[in-house]
A = this chain, B = another copy of it.
């Protein structure tokens, strides 16, 4: 008899964003004239940079000619993209990487979800709370947790609360953990980690033979020069950290799909009887067995970001979004909300007033201002009473949204 993976039954009802979509659809159906402004799911809105469009047209044309046609590419990605990444994203910040340490993929959601497969089921997972739900859900599916409690937290997973009280920078866990998910600039709180903070985590991992899974999907939004873009800017991090990067938010590739993951050769893990194993080889085996490379067209587009024109054009788009972030921060502050993030990240994290719950605030904003945001409690128990607004929209829409919120 065919049996299911019963860990799936532990999962809480519905992934956060489908539930938001359901409420928005229901409201739109009942209010067909409402002009809904979406500052919710964190999807980009600006069209792609011209240099990237041009590169993708060229890549499409290459598929029209036998001499330039690309069939299966390397599962790990094309050298032209890997080399551009190493040169621009790492070498210029003082980090040296070997091409075999970079794995191109079709998205960070996939990579951060799949990475846990190469580790044992006996590892204890630590996540910040609030957190991007994929880190947790994929470990629950794999069997690294018990059931969920009333607060939505899964038994066996270690949650590190991030609230205004600790400035959204979690303390080290007070019990031994083996895998730590960190995301900086942070989704959803929009806060960043300075070098000393990252050093604290690297030291913990080195001392405890733990691994840090570092999600840097939003590094391009950092404006403060003292904030590291990569965890490898911290000495010794290559021995304890995997880093995830995405082109989704940086160059607007949420629909086109491209990302990459760095697995340093110096990173080791162990068998239960203490034999040391290189993690790079494990991930390479997983990646080449279950994945067949990102689209050659997406890879060509991503590589165009690293040209002088591409960088300049993309910077303008990022500046536009960060201008939105400034407007949102300043407006909400003036309305009397406590707000966080939004200076080195495209997310603004606000504290609701008068003890209003995250979903109550969601419904208020949707029904009274026709503005969609993301309830903080959807990211974890410690997100209750908080709310995420994203800077991804047209400046005129953002201004309109702030105007409507001002009237609440």
- Asked if A255 and B71 make an inter-chain contact with CB atoms under 8 angstroms apart, the answer reads yes
**Cβ of A227 < 8 Å from any Cβ of B?**
no
A119 touches B295 (CB 8 A): no
- Residue A335 at the chain B interface, CB threshold 8 Å: no
Which residue from chain B places its CB closest to the CB of A176 in the assembled complex? B1
Q: Is the CB of A289 within 8 A of B178?
A: no
A117 at the B interface (CB under 8 A): yes
A314 smallest CB distance to B (angstroms): 14
Q: Mark A34-63, 1 if CB is under 8 A from B, else 0.
A: 000000010111111010010011001101
A123 partner residues in chain B, CB cutoff 8 A:
2-3
- With A45-B66, A47-B63 known, 20 other A-B pairs at CB within 8 A are A1-B178, A1-B209, A2-B211, A3-B120, A4-B269, A5-B118, A15-B288, A18-B288, A43-B72, A53-B64, A57-B57, A63-B252, A69-B255, A109-B292, A113-B290, A138-B290, A255-B296, A256-B295, A256-B297, A295-B297
23 residue pairs of the A-B complex, CB under 8 angstroms, read: A1-B270, A2-B209, A3-B123, A4-B277, A4-B282, A41-B72, A43-B71, A45-B69, A45-B71, A46-B69, A47-B63, A47-B64, A47-B69, A53-B61, A60-B60, A70-B255, A71-B255, A73-B255, A109-B292, A141-B286, A256-B295, A256-B296, A257-B294
A2 to B50 Cα, complex, angstroms: 44
Cβ of A126 to closest chain B Cβ, rounded Å: 12
In the complex, which residues 113-159 of chain A have their Cβ closer than 8 Å to any Cβ of chain B? Answer: 113-114, 117-123, 133-134, 137-138, 141
A11 sits at the interface (CB 8 A): yes
A65 with B47: CB separation less than 8 A: yes
A210 interface contact, C-beta 8 A: yes
Q: Which residue of B lies closest to A44 (CB)?
A: B71
User: Most chain-B CB neighbours within 10 Å: which of A11, A209, A254?
Assistant: A254
Q: Ordered nearest first, which 5 A-B pairs have the shortest CB separation?
A: A3-B120, A113-B290, A43-B71, A70-B255, A255-B296
**Contact A53–B45 (Cβ < 8 Å):** no
Is A200 part of the contact surface with B, judged by Cβ < 8 Å?
no
Task: Tell me how far the C-beta of A8 lies from the nearest C-beta in chain B, rounded to whole angstroms.
Answer: 6
What is the chain B residue whose CB lies nearest that of A259? B292
Q: How far, in whole Å, are A46 and B66 apart by their CA atoms in the complex?
A: 6
**A106 on interface, CB distance cutoff 8 Å:** yes
Give the nearest-CB partner of A49 in chain B: B64
Chain B minimum-CB-distance residue to A53: B64
Report if A291-B107 is in contact (Cβ < 8 Å); known contacts: A4-B118, A6-B120, A117-B5: yes
Q: How many positions in chain A have a CB within 8 Å of any CB in the partner chain?
A: 83
Interface, chain A (partner B; CB < 8 A): 1-6, 8-9, 11, 15, 18, 41, 43-48, 50, 53, 56-57, 60-61, 63-66, 69-73, 106-107, 109-110, 113-114, 117-123, 133-134, 137-138, 141, 178-179, 208-211, 252, 254-257, 269-272, 277, 279, 282, 285-286, 288-298, 394
Q: Which of A106, A277, A298 has the most CB of B within 10 A?
A: A106
Instruction: Name which residue of chain B comes closest to A58, CB basis.
Output: B60
Q: B66 near A47 (CB under 8 angstroms)?
A: yes
Within the complex, which residue of B18, B106, B270 is in contact with A4, where a contact is CB–CB below 8 Å?
Answer: B270
Tell me whether B257 and A134 are in contact (CB under 8 A).
no
Residues of the B chain whose Cβ atoms lie less than 8 Å from the Cβ of A138:
289-290
Nearest chain-B residue to A281 (Cβ)? B8
Task: Give A121's nearest chain B residue, CB to CB.
Answer: B5
Q: How far is the CA of A119 from the CA of B42 in the complex (A)?
A: 32
Please indicate which of the listed interface residues A47, A66, A70 has the most CB atoms of chain B within 10 Å of its own CB. Answer: A47
Instruction: Tell me how far the C-beta of A318 lies from the nearest C-beta in chain B, rounded to whole angstroms.
Output: 16
Chain B residues closer than 8 Å to A208, beta-carbon distance: 1
Q: Which residues of B contact A269 (CB under 8 A)?
A: 2-4
Q: Using Cβ atoms and an 8 Å threshold, which residues of chain B touch A47?
A: 63-66, 69
